[in-house]
Structure formats: structure tokens, C-alpha cells
Amino acid sequence: MVVKKTEKEKIKKITKEPKKKTGKEETKLKVGKSKPEMKIFNTLTRKVEEIKPIKKGEIGMYSCGPTVYGRAHVGNMRAYIFADTLRRVLEYYGYKVKHVMNITDVGHLTSDADSGEDKMQKSAREERLSAWDISKKYTDIFFQDEKELNILKPQIVCNATDHIKEQIELIKSLEKKGYTYRTSDGIYFDTAKFKKYGDLAKLNIEGLQAGKRIDVGEKKNKTDFALWKFSGENEKRDMEWESPWGKGFPGWHIECSAMSMKYLGKNFDIHTGGIDHIPIHHTNEIAQSESSTGNKFVNYWVHSEFLVLGEQEKMSKSLGNVINLDTIKEKGFTAMDYRYLCLGVQYRKRLIFGEEVLKSAANSMQRLKNKIIEIKEDNPKIIELNKSSPESKKYLEEFKESVFNDLNTPKALAVMWNMLGDNKVNNSEKYSLLLNFDRVLGLQMDKLRKEEIKVDDKLQELLKKREEFRKLKKWQEADKIRDEILAKGYTILDTNEGPKLENLGK
């Protein structure tokens, strides 16, 4: 803080004599008093901005959910861990968050730009199931994965197919205002009529339109997109509905406009998604919503970066290089190892995925577990953090500052490790701080404890044999068995109640 000269002089006047040094000054840590601002990078302005909610104390947040035509891969799950972390941070800050997420179960075509087959129908054909069964199958798996990753379920989860009426109404309102036109395969939005088209992505519209003669087909402009698609004459679709324009199904973008505005209002606070949604999906959501309502649609657009394999390679189903949660579990990693890995990279940075980085995250989780076991042996109490030591308060402030500053989770993790290594913070404070931090990190720290070891028959037999050798003072044989048990990942603790096994972890 810059103190003006006059104020400095005032201070001097009331300070009679400089206090004698006691040597304890260093321990008097400065603890921030005012609440830090909650800031986030807004794609709309390309700036880190303070979040100012529309309604005091409340946040409306919409996240583009999965297209349930196949199993989500770990790249997709990064986007949901990010949205979950944002929601947790907002709640940690004190906001009441209404989180809405859609399930895309119709209308997302194999190309985001309205060409190709409906992903759901394609998958149904390949798996010889109906599109409805495909939707149920992959929605269930998705929520199972979310649960394992400790992602909080949004208060409202809405399927596109349950909101056909709302989507038709929205298209009708656009039609009434003159934003639509008809081609032989559907009803399209005329992007030339929306002056701000492409602002979010800073699209070079002129450049884009210049190429329109190449593959624009019946569309008026290259960037125009389908609001409603007609079922083809010979097409056999599992999902189709009557509409004022003919039998068919909604385009992908209209579902997110219709459902977000239904549950959060015409203008709401935050909309999330992966960065790939910026140039098409979110650009089109803005065009439809704002043309229909005449209002600003969303105040903060927040996008997460990709998970890539190697320097550039994007993980995607179409490239055939996908890894899902089961794949990493088969390799001996846990869902929490993956969550830790995601937290270790700020959401706006690319996450370069591979076994090495996953191993390092798993090691950190093991270290965290060991630390918690050690702390728990001291029977820590849950204490009120505002009554704790200045050191402990300082870590709390640092943690808050990190997560409230554009979700700097890597820094928050570093604060946690510094706190755990600081012997000026006692174990009750450490444990209480960890549980507090975990409201944001979601690493299920309360569940990290010594594993109860289920001793299988083979281990039981080995343990018994070792005891027999020990009774006979056959130390060499007993040690050989101990080594065998060690190789299986356990160590033997000889206690008063007899030998016990302890898991050495991974």
C-alpha cells in the first residue's frame, strides 16, 4: 500500500517510541483481512475479470454436457472436472450456485458444422441398438465415471430429447423475427442478420464468407447453421418429431440455448465448455439466443483447454486414440490420481497426458495419503480455522487467493504441500485445513486412510508358516517368507496381538 506523506506523518505523531525488538516479530504473519475478489478468464473479453453476479450471492452456471453416443474419454472428463472445480470454488467463495448441464442425445452431427450423420444414429447402427438405448447406456456410464471422479452432480441435468417443445418454440420466435430460412434439408439461421456474429471467437467473417462458393450448398452463408433438420425421405430414424416445418429433429446448438434459458433465464452468469466450442457451438448459441431475446445471453464464457497426447495430438474418438477411466484403472491408477493430475495443470493450459505424468500424480496421492495417516495417528481435532494460529491462517489465505485467481489449482496444491511440511502448524490445524481445501480439490481426503487389508488365503498361509518358523527359531526360513510377503506389496508389523500386515501402497 502506498501511504501518502501526510498520513505517514500522522502515523509518526501517534507512535511515541519505536517498540523494542523481541525477536518474535517474524512469527507475526500478516493475514489478509478483506475477502479476495473471485476472478476468471472471460473468453468474451479475453481478460481475467472479477465475477459480478446478476443476483447478489447467486450464480447461474450452464455447462455443455456430453454427447452420449459413446464412452467419454479422459479428455472429455477433464472438461467436467474443470466445470466441477469452478462450481466448487464459487461455492467455497460463498455463492449459491445453480448448475445446469445438458445431455446431448440428439442432433450432434459427425461434423460440428452441420454435416454428416447424427452421432447417436451412427452409434445405434454400429452397436445394433436403438438410439434411445445408446443414450441410456452411455449416460449411465458417464455418471458412473463422474461419481468415481467425485464430480458433484449439477442440480439440473437435462436431455435434449426432453426439451423438443422448448427448442421448437425458440426456432418459431427466430422465424417470426426473420432470422431463418428454409432449404431442402432443414431450417437454417441466417448468420448475416446477426451483426455480432463471431465476436466470441473473433472470427474473421469476411474471410470465412469469401470461401463460401466452395461448399456452401443451399446455405446463404458458410457460417449459417441448422436449427431444425428434416428426416430424410428414406431415412429410418429412432428419434424424430413433428414440427411446424416437417418431421425431423433439432440441430445441436439450439438445445443449449433453449435449455439454458429455460432453467437460468435469458441472461445468466457463466457458461462453460471446452475450447473447441468457441468458434461454432458457442458462437451459434449466442447468435440464436441474443437474436431471439434481444438481450445479452451470458456474462462470462469460460473454456477449458484440451488434454493432448504428446505436444499436439488431441485425444478424440475420431482419431481412435482414446483412453477412458477404465483404461487407466486397468493400469493400476485410481480416479483420484487422474483428478489430481487435472488439478496440477491450470484449466487454461494444455494437459499433456501420458503414463509418466499419471505416475507422478499417483505418487503425490500416495504421499498425501501417508501424510494423512501420520496426522491421524495424532488424533487430530477439527478446529475452527478463524481461531487457529497465524501460520495456519496464512496458508488458508494463500489457498483462497490461488483458487479465487482464475482457478490456479497448481498453486493451491503447492500451498497445501507447504502447509503439510510446516512444523509450526500442528496436526489438528493441518487436518482441518486439508478438509477445508478438499471442498475445492475434491480428492476425497476424508477417505484416505490406512487400507484394511483383506488377507487372502495364500497370504494367510504364508503368515502362519512364518510364525511357525519363528517359534522354531528358524530365522532364515522366516525371513525368506517375509521377503515373499514384501514382494506382494505388504510389510509385517509384529505387534503384541500377533503379526499384522500393512499395505506398502503402489
Interaction partner, residue 75 (ligand AMP, Zn ion, none; CB < 5-8 Å by kind): ligand AMP
Show contacts with Zn ion in window 64-93 (CB under 5 A). Answer: 64
CA distance 145 to 151: 9
What 3-state class would DSSP assign to 216?
coil
Cβ(403)–Cβ(412) below 8 Å: yes
Please report how close the Cβ of residue 494 comes to ligand AMP at its closest, in angstroms.
Answer: 50
The cell for 196 is 455480432
| Nearest CB to ligand AMP, comparing residues 280 and 463 | 280
CB of 78 to ligand AMP, least distance (A): 5
Long-range CB contacts for residues 334-337, cutoff 8 Å, separation at least 24: 334/362, 334/365, 335/145, 335/148, 335/149, 335/150, 336/149, 336/150, 336/365, 336/443, 336/444, 337/361, 337/362, 337/365
Among 76, 102, 167, 334, binds ligand AMP (CB under 6 A): 76
Among 256, 322, 351, 420, binds Zn ion (CB under 5 A): 256
67 contact choice in Zn ion, ligand AMP, none (CB below 5 to 8 Å, kind-dependent): ligand AMP
- Site string (12-51) toward Zn ion, x via CB under 5 A: ----------------------------------------
Q: Which of 39, 172, 212, 314 binds ligand AMP (CB under 6 A)?
A: 314
- Residue 315 as a binder of ligand AMP (CB under 6 A): the answer is yes
Q: Which stretch binds Zn ion (CB under 5 A): 120-128, 161-169, 250-258, 481-489?
A: 250-258
φ and ψ of 133, to 5 deg: -70, -35
Rounded Cα gap, residues 410 and 377, in angstroms: 28
Amino acid at 266: K
**Grid coordinates in use for 263?**
432453467
| Shortest Å distance, C-beta 441 to ligand AMP | 20
- Closest approach, Cβ 41 to ligand AMP, in A, equals 16
Q: Which residues, in sequence order, are CB contacts of 272 under 8 Å at separation 6+?
A: 61, 62, 63, 64, 79, 82, 83, 86, 302, 303, 304
Cα 236 to Cα 121: distance, rounded to the nearest angstrom: 9
Q: Which residue from 44, 59, 60, 66 is in contact with ligand AMP, where contact means CB under 6 A?
A: 66
Q: Which is nearer to ligand AMP, 277 or 348 (CB)?
A: 277
Residue 78 touching ligand AMP (CB under 6 A): yes
As a whole number of angstroms, the distance between CA 488 and CA 189 comes to: 63
Instruction: Out of 306, 340, 399, 490, point to the residue binding ligand AMP (CB under 6 A).
Output: 306
Strand ranges in 316-413 using DSSP code E only, listed in sequence order: 351-353
- d(CA 69, CA 133) in angstroms, rounded, equals 10
Binding positions for ligand AMP, 7-26, rule CB under 6 A: none
CA distance 114 to 505: 49
Identify the residue whose cell numbers are 482419431: 319
x/- track of binding to ligand AMP for residues 238-277 (CB under 6 A): -----------------------------------xx-xx
Which does residue 314 bind out of Zn ion, ligand AMP, none, counting CB within 5 to 8 angstroms by kind? ligand AMP
The one among 40, 53, 59, 67 contacting ligand AMP by CB under 6 A? 67
64 scored as a contact of ligand AMP (CB under 6 A) = yes
DSSP class of residue 281 equals I
The answer to whether residue 75 forms part of the interface with ligand AMP (CB under 6 A) is yes
Closest separation in Å from C-beta 79 to Zn ion: 11
Query: Is residue 408 helix, strand or coil?
Result: coil
Residues that bind ligand AMP (CB under 6 A): 64, 66-67, 75-76, 78-79, 273-274, 276-277, 306-307, 314-316
Residues that bind Zn ion (CB under 5 A): 64, 256
